[in-house]
Amino acid sequence: MGHTAPPAAPTAPPRRRYEAGAIQCREPVVVDLAGCGHTLTVPCCEAADVRAGAVPCRAPVTVQLPVCGHSVTVACGARQAALRDPTACTHKCGQLLGCEHTCENACGKCLKAVLLNNAEELVEGGLCNRPVPVQHA
């Protein structure tokens, strides 16, 4: 048949869930994100913020960067920022430089140097930071 609860101790009036000091529900809930179609599992007390768009989607997505053509994996909520920033590429540049070395810098670092025109040495579309041996006659 059920159980009987002990007599309740005197308490303060109950608080509404959004009032400071209220006990917040930590039960996990799945929330559909309207902007991208992904789902996010969050504590119940955070679900309203997620539904309102205050929490960016953290699902990993692969995007192809338009300037260099490399593909990178970013959080879904950061996809548009990565597409707008040509210096976001983390792939190895790999350009064959005029000094016959392969550029070891991150692609985004090379693009940034080219865009800012402050490359230490710009040779055939890449940067070279390696010392070139002196050839004697």
* Confidence check: pLDDT of 7 > 90: no
Does residue 39 form part of some domain?
A: yes
Domain encompassing residue 42: 23-56
* Confidence check: pLDDT of 38 > 90: yes
Spell out where the chain has E strands.
28-32, 39-43, 60-64, 71-75, 122-123, 126-127
Task: Please give the pLDDT value at position 136.
Answer: 30
Task: Please give the pLDDT value at position 135.
Answer: 37
Q: Phi first, then psi: what are they for 77, rounded to 5°?
A: -65, -15
Q: Which residues pair with 132 in a beta bridge?
A: none
30 plus 80 within the same structural domain: no
- Stretch 91-104: mean pLDDT: 84
71 plus 112 within the same structural domain: yes
Does residue 83 form part of some domain?
A: yes
Q: How confident is the model at residue 134 (pLDDT cuts 50, 70, 90)?
A: very low
Does residue 97 form part of some domain?
A: yes
- Count Cβ neighbours within 10 Å for each residue of 23-54 and write b for 16 or more, e otherwise: eeeeeeeebebeeeeeebebeebbbeebeeee
Number of independent structural domains in the chain: 2
65 plus 46 within the same structural domain: no
Does residue 10 form part of some domain?
A: no
Pick from 14, 31, 56: which residue ends a domain? 56
86 plus 36 within the same structural domain: no
